[in-house]
Structure 1
């Protein structure tokens, strides 16, 4: 007869096997034996399910073994794989489908199996959301395999499993997964990029995250989906969705044929074979994000990829009008990034935006010439002002505004401004009056030489057609010919020379930097110094003090340092 267990003894802290003197090799052998026993137990339960229907209760046993607390935090992946095989065989065998004129007990069995399958799916989603990276990837692979079996073998489930069932829940879990960088990379590389149907339904689900779904929910639809859709998404989730969508950067041509599908049943869906249908889904997905409450950094990210990753998906690019015009009105770097997309709509889709050039003119400020987007802006500005149909007063205002800004611009910006102005004069010769005007009235000429005149250009005027720049001159560029930097002074002189060169290649001047200009002077060593520069050869022993330090002799000096008189160092 077994003895009574002393509870006080069991409450004591158990000694580790290392403290009890058990060798590590023995501990490993015990662990391996326990693991082997567990695997044998799992395999036995799985085999019994395959052998007879009377062992279907083993499914509930395996589900209970998968996760003890049901949260998916510490899953048994061997059990998860075994359950995936079990349900795949049951689905392929038609055991989750009610046959016609089925008996009542048969319907009860089918309903029970469906409920256990949904329970297993929920556990997989929990693992995807909150487990470690390896378990998340495994759960994603198993969920996608189960999805394929359902879409292939269950009649009527080929679309529902993607739109309102398993795929939607798994996709939301992938988006919201904790520390899910590796998981999302796996989803992109193994499923989204290779398979056209996965990309199609991914676009659909992104739209469903923010907008009302365009399908009628069936009995298995998650009831909380409408709440999830109407809830504003966080910036982190939005950034994740943008990353996922921007991965699909290969826009199909009208002649493209879709042949690579994850599910065989997708080949029978006409929408999945249509290029217009794919582009419609992608368009809706991008619009759902653009209409959300975007942070400023995310808005800039979207504007950077607008032309190459977003606009090509749109069958109706005019739908981007509100987003681009709102971004254009923000000002600063955001307006600069919105320029290319907005100009595309004006040029290709006949967007009526009469304030485009006044707004573009307002972007020309001192901050622009110090911005990291300066090169991008000059490339776009070169395109915007290329048309010969623009009024001379408009072009003259841009020339004069750039010249005025060049007075306080860094040397790398001036190096780009002067050739840009030269090219504008070549394209718009009616503006060359700003270079030189002959004063035929001698008395007026003498008066101007003696007293000078006010510049007719109004820098405060916001309308470029009313600034009076065409009546002014480019005295700013002539002032730059005396610039301290020799490269700037040399390039400013091209305005005073004959315009024999057809035009300058702007790309040769846009990427100048302080570092590059310094290396050109010091790093090459090809240009010998014509004159030795004058330097300070006597190093002063003091700057701020009137008395030398004791170690320097402590000699009194004359008080009244100029720098100390100008500043208070107390």
Structure 2
């Protein structure tokens, strides 16, 4: 048999390729037709299920059409919505409920339907974890609809569905979503903040998740979810907004103490996990307003706050407000409180972004007139000493702060001016001066002997290069006619604000001509003398040339 020629073969191939090419417009029409056929098939299967039990096998067909067998990247959302309607009707009709009086075949059908319902819920959970954002939002709505139907129409599952069923999978998927902030915000805004029963069980699930050691990213998500929930309810709060109507009958869900207990457990589980330093600071910032109101027993925060207070630096500053709340409201015994507060006064504090917050708190801590004069004197002296090297924005807070302390504790005013009546001692002091008795290295503020010293540092600040600082330092040398200074007027000073204040004012005439370099030197870095100098090196800059050898 003769073999076919090469030309005939290639021609035949080209013809087949040409026939296989389909225009894009036709492909689009074909795809739309296929989609329409699928929708028609889904509607037909759903209608048959509603007609008779003999079509219950259509449920298995619809589940297979979800397209989530291997992964849930491209699910068929139309099928997911259709199945939600199917199971909602079946649950409302009691077809998934097994009763003891039912016939054996009825029990078998109910068990089979329950198994298909579990498959469907598992598919929705997979979509929540693996699909794109749009599909996740749809799956979230369908999941919550299923929870509502099961909790409403299936006796005995009203609590189980929240604690160990579909809702647990929802919270885990929301937490594991990672950077998908859209899904998280959708759940918080649409469900957790809107419905009190959803928020209650969200606290339960977060507490369960945080019981085991979690990654830093997961803990950050849990913190954001907890802090995004509404503020703690007041004792007179009435619970009215429930996602599931049957929740009104649950005594725990209408109890303020029960809600606070669940939130308290969730926060404690997070606080006791392996939180990072940045997360610790975040928690301390929101401690007073977002965390402590949820605690029926705030003393449970004692370990966390005292550990944070002992860390030092900015962490200690942030822990101050929460710790003082426990001391003031819950009678927490912290005997070393003022000693620790005194240790926080270091040069870094005056450059910290939390400086304003610290001065507000310290103003509260030192407001009592029953504090020892030696203690107050130590704080004033320590602040005055730090002011010598502090930025101007911090000095303008320190001086009014010391002024207010002197007004509150007049016993310490002897630090401003001491009268030496012994002429011999007075002459000796004028001739030789004296050592400052203040012990700057002593950690105990009651033993620094600051009360025997003076505030000479404030006198030095009266000659500060910045005119605002020098002007405000002079209030210590004047009569104390003003009752108190409002610290809030000085706490927001910054370099930028000072510069803008100077640049924003109209040009003022100079009272004194500033000293400037008016003689332009002929040489700075060389020793070669010009002939017109007569061989004499008299030009400015000779000092620089004398310190280094330049070629």
TM-score normalised by structure 1 residue count? 0.88
Distance 1:86 1:535, change over 3 A: farther
Instruction: Please say which structure displays the higher CA radius of gyration.
Output: 2
Asked if 1:500 is matched to 2:501, the reply is no
Asked if 1:378 is matched to 2:355, the reply is no
Asked if 1:176 is matched to 2:172, the reply is no
What is the correspondence of 1:94-133 to structure 2 with a 5 Å cutoff? 94-133=94-133
Asked if 1:239 is matched to 2:220, the reply is yes
Checking the alignment, whether the CA contact within 8 Å between 1:130 and 1:178 is kept in structure 2 is no
| Displacement of 1:285 | 1.0
What is the correspondence of 1:245-256 to structure 2 with a 5 Å cutoff? 245-256=226-237
Matches of 1:539 and 1:245, distance apart in 2: 67
Matches of 2:207 and 2:546, distance apart in 1: 68
Aligned to 2:347, which of 358, 366, 376?
366
* Equivalent position SS for 2:465: coil
| Displacement of 1:106 | 2.1
Aligned match of 1:53: 53
| Displacement of 1:183 | 0.2
| Displacement of 1:564 | 8.1
Aligned match of 2:432: 451
| Displacement of 1:171 | 0.8
- Computed over aligned residues only, the root mean square deviation of the Cα atoms, in angstroms, reads 2.6
Matches of 1:298 and 1:568, distance apart in 2: 55
* Equivalent position SS for 1:466: coil
Matches of 2:210 and 2:59, distance apart in 1: 37
Distance 1:83 1:543, change over 3 A: farther
Deviations 1:143-175 (A, max 9, x none): 000000000000011111111111111111111
Checking the alignment, whether the CA contact within 8 Å between 1:397 and 1:464 is kept in structure 2 is yes
| Displacement of 1:561 | 8.0
Checking the alignment, whether the CA contact within 8 Å between 1:87 and 1:117 is kept in structure 2 is yes
| Displacement of 1:320 | 0.7
Distance 1:423 1:109, change over 3 A: same
Aligned match of 1:36: 36
* Equivalent position SS for 2:406: helix
Aligned to 2:334, which of 353, 367, 382?
353
Asked if 1:270 is matched to 2:271, the reply is no
Aligned to 1:340, which of 318, 321, 342?
321
Checking the alignment, whether the CA contact within 8 Å between 2:308 and 2:315 is kept in structure 1 is yes
| Displacement of 1:404 | 0.3
Aligned match of 1:80: 80
Unpaired segments of 5 or more residues in structure 2? 1-9, 529-538
What is the correspondence of 1:58-69 to structure 2 with a 5 Å cutoff? 58-69=58-69
Which 10-residue stretch deviates more, 304-313 or 533-542?
A: 533-542
Checking the alignment, whether the CA contact within 8 Å between 2:188 and 2:229 is kept in structure 1 is no
Matches of 1:34 and 1:449, distance apart in 2: 104
* Equivalent position SS for 2:356: helix
Unpaired segments of 5 or more residues in structure 1? 1-8, 212-229, 548-557
Matches of 1:563 and 1:115, distance apart in 2: 91
| Displacement of 1:210 | 2.6
Which 10-residue stretch deviates more, 327-336 or 38-47?
A: 38-47
Matches of 1:470 and 1:233, distance apart in 2: 52
The size of the alignment, in residue pairs, is 527
| Displacement of 1:542 | 9.2
Matches of 1:567 and 1:57, distance apart in 2: 97
| Displacement of 1:28 | 2.7
Deviations 1:3-47 (A, max 9, x none): xxxxxx9xx9xx999x9361x443332222111111111111111
Checking the alignment, whether the CA contact within 8 Å between 1:71 and 1:123 is kept in structure 2 is no
Aligned match of 2:452: 471
Deviations 1:283-329 (A, max 9, x none): 11111111111101111010000001111111111111011000000
Aligned match of 2:404: 423
Checking the alignment, whether the CA contact within 8 Å between 2:68 and 2:123 is kept in structure 1 is no
Aligned match of 1:6: none
Matches of 2:546 and 2:225, distance apart in 1: 62
TM-score normalised by structure 2 residue count? 0.91
| Displacement of 1:526 | 5.3
Distance 1:568 1:273, change over 3 A: farther
Aligned match of 1:71: 71
Distance 1:415 1:277, change over 3 A: same
Matches of 2:330 and 2:545, distance apart in 1: 65
Checking the alignment, whether the CA contact within 8 Å between 2:62 and 2:83 is kept in structure 1 is yes
Distance 1:26 1:536, change over 3 A: farther
Checking the alignment, whether the CA contact within 8 Å between 1:361 and 1:398 is kept in structure 2 is yes
Aligned match of 2:21: 20
Matches of 1:16 and 1:473, distance apart in 2: 100
What is the correspondence of 1:73-222 to structure 2 with a 5 Å cutoff? 73-211=73-211
Aligned to 1:390, which of 347, 371, 390?
371
